[in-house]
Amino acid sequence: MAFSYAPPKQDRREAGQAMGQATYREIKDEVRDKVRGGVWRPGHELPTEHEIAAQYGCARATVNRALRELAEEGLLERKRKSGTRVRASPLRQARFDIPLVRGEIEALGEPYRYRLLERAETQAPGWLCARMGLAAPVQVLHLRCLHHAGDTPYQVEDRWINLVTLPRARDVDFTKLGPNEWLIGAIPFTDVDISFSATAADARLAQELSCAVGDPLFQGERSTWLEAAPVTYVRMVFRRGHRMTTRY
Amino acid sequence: MAFSYAPPKQDRREAGQAMGQATYREIKDEVRDKVRGGVWRPGHELPTEHEIAAQYGCARATVNRALRELAEEGLLERKRKSGTRVRASPLRQARFDIPLVRGEIEALGEPYRYRLLERAETQAPGWLCARMGLAAPVQVLHLRCLHHAGDTPYQVEDRWINLVTLPRARDVDFTKLGPNEWLIGAIPFTDVDISFSATAADARLAQELSCAVGDPLFQGERSTWLEAAPVTYVRMVFRRGHRMTTRY
DNA sequence: GCCATCTATTTGCCTAGACATAAGATCGGC
DNA sequence: GCCGATCTTATGTCTAGGCAAATAGATGGC
């Protein structure tokens, strides 16, 4: 056999797991190390769950959990009968935390401040209908808000709420509470669509975010539905230089 | 009891699971539906694993897997002794697939074309040292590549490879094979840092991506390390209007 | 009233064994 | 030699039971 695992049977309790650490986690870590460290190259075939279980002196279910999770993370590929192998191209996916603006700003150590810039009730414009999959224009509540980190503007929230599915939004005072935070408690959703892109600052954005007209800005857009019924669309434009980051 | 689950005990086999579907998946789906459908609002406390298991007539381990995975997805919050509740703010995180450019373009139904624009061996500039955590400048291979979707430019790849950790990159012919694809097979990594932001097209980018100078462009940056040793840094600038999207 | 300790409960993880399902491998028949 | 039917094997999931660890809430001492 081309490799050997660490803990031999002796060192563990007879029943239960104990020994201070979760075993599936040990297995996960060791397999991950082998892959990341290049001991097992992409395409390499791992021993079967039975074999690994025997080597660790643990139950197959434990090995199964470790390998299943690693496959879930995109590191391994599993197929019945053919076995488990290291994915040809790892790094399939990245996870980003999408925090509430409030939390994001407070995590920076800055005091969070919020301001409602605009509030209007109108018919949904064409582009919004297209984006939400609306056949006919409906009545919507349009809010424009500014989120500050300390004294500097951090994000402009351009929010559209469908008043047909959520008529009680009409009666909410959004001068204190951001629509984002209200919506979370107000309505559930079943489908979400998020996308990120770059945009140029127009005159209004430039003024609101204290940057120059034409500056490149990072923006996110999110649409949510409740069982095919459009609930809300939001465009979040971040201050100049913002980056969305993840590390692992 | 305030709710009731679907399948009563009778309908299932005596031992094993069978019945065509995975039970943990049924539980997951039903819990998810309850949360997304608003039956269980944010903050709601769900029954204990024991209770749910009793209602479904299944083992606690099965319920545990369902709830554990939902917690992992960010829908639930679990704490020993206090139980499981619906997360106050769902939608904590989004997963984006980070495909290879080639795959991304081919998924669009366009033929993939690749071109090496520039190749040079130099000392790592200051900003790169800072980004990779290098104390002293090292010898690096700098590549600039263009990925086409059909006839239109799709992405500029600005790649820097550390020749100290990866000296054999010197001997690779990058005119045919993109550095990205070569690196995957050439070296593993232990740490990755990804970030996305907006940038403005300078004269060179404008020419390469057929856009106007100053146009806002979406860009991603990725640094990878192998046990503290910097391996490579890449800046990927996408054509005008590119969006990174996910749906669930 | 307040603080430290104890207890009960809930999730977390494990074992050992079983059946289900997919799919590679092999064997026959032609 | 080719093709379908059968066998075999690895993963997928479940059961039933158990110990471990965290912690909310009760209890007791001062």
**pLDDT score recorded for residue A92:** 62
Q: What CATH code is carried by the domain that includes residue A214?
A: 3.40.1410.10
Total of domains in chain A: 2
- B168 burial type by CB count under 10 A (0-12 exposed, 13-18 middle, 19+ buried): exposed
Do B142 and B198 lie in a common domain?
yes
Separation of CA B185 and C1' D3 in angstroms? 38
Domain-embedded: residue B93: no
Percent of chain B at pLDDT above 90?
57
Q: In this structure, are A38 and A127 located in the same domain?
A: no
What is the tens place of the pLDDT at every residue in A151-181? Answer: 899 999 999 999 998 999 999 999 988 898 8
In a domain, B248, yes or no: no
Residue A133 has pLDDT above 90, yes or no: no
Q: Indicate whether B233 belongs to any domain.
A: yes
Contacts of A15 (CB under 8 A, 6+ apart): none
In a domain, B94, yes or no: no
CATH number, domain of A18, equals 1.10.10.10
Q: Is residue A21 part of a domain?
A: yes
Of the residues A86, A114, A142, the one at which a domain ends: A86
User: Within this chain, do residues A121 and A229 fall inside the same structural domain, yes or no?
Assistant: yes
Listed range (A92-101, A127-136, B136-145, B176-185) with the worst mean pLDDT = A92-101
Segments forming the whole domain that contains residue A129: 101-238
Residue A54 lies inside a defined structural domain of this protein: yes
A-chain CB neighbours of B188 within 8 Å are 35-38, 41
- Strand D, nucleotides covered by protein (CB < 7 Å): 8-24
For chains A and B, CB pairs below 8 A equal 140
Q: Are residues B43 and B125 part of one domain? A: no
**Res B91: pLDDT:** 61
Across the interface, do A37 and B190 touch by the CB < 8 Å criterion?
A: yes
- Nearest residue: Cα versus C1' of D21: B80
Strand stretches in A163-214, DSSP E: 191-200
Regarding whether A130 and A75 lie in a shared domain, the answer is: no
Higher local confidence (pLDDT), A192 or B184: A192
Domain check: are A114 and A223 in the same one?
yes
The angle formed by the CA atoms of residues A112, A115 and A118, to the nearest 5 degrees, is 155
Mean pLDDT of B135-159: 92
Say if residue A23's pLDDT is above 70: yes
Q: Do B184 and A42 make contact, defined as CB atoms within 8 angstroms?
A: yes
Q: Domain boundary residue among A63, A86, A109? A: A86
Q: Is there a domain that residue B91 lies in?
A: no
* Same-domain check for residues B111 and B233: yes
Residues of chain B positioned with their CB less than 8 A from the CB of A194: 94, 245-247
Domain termination site, one of B32, B61, B86: B86
Q: Do B120 and B210 sit in the same domain of this protein?
A: yes
Q: Are residues B21 and B118 in the same domain?
A: no
Q: Residue A131 is encoded by which pair of tokens?
A: 């984006």
pLDDT at A81 over 80: yes
Kindly list the residues from chain B whose CB atom is less than 8 angstroms away from the CB atom of residue A197: 198, 218, 241-244
Chain A's closest residue to B97, CA to CA, is A93
CA distance A94 to chain B (A): 5
Cα of B142 to nearest chain A Cα, Å: 23
Contacts of A226 in chain B (CB under 8 A): 36
The answer to whether A31 touches A67, Cβ cutoff 8 Å, is: yes
B4 Cα to chain A: minimum distance (Å): 20
Same domain flag for A126 and A189:
yes
- Does position B24 have pLDDT exceeding 50, yes or no? yes
Residues in contact with B209: Cβ distance below 8 Å, sequence separation at least 6, in sequence order: B153, B156, B201, B217, B237, B239, B240
- Strand C bases with any atom < 7 A from protein Cβ: 8-24
Q: Check whether residue A81 and residue A195 sit in a common domain.
A: no
State whether A77 and A112 are in the same domain: no
Q: Is residue A245 part of a domain?
A: no
State the nucleotide closest to B24 in CA–C1' terms: D13
Q: Residue B34's pLDDT is what?
A: 92
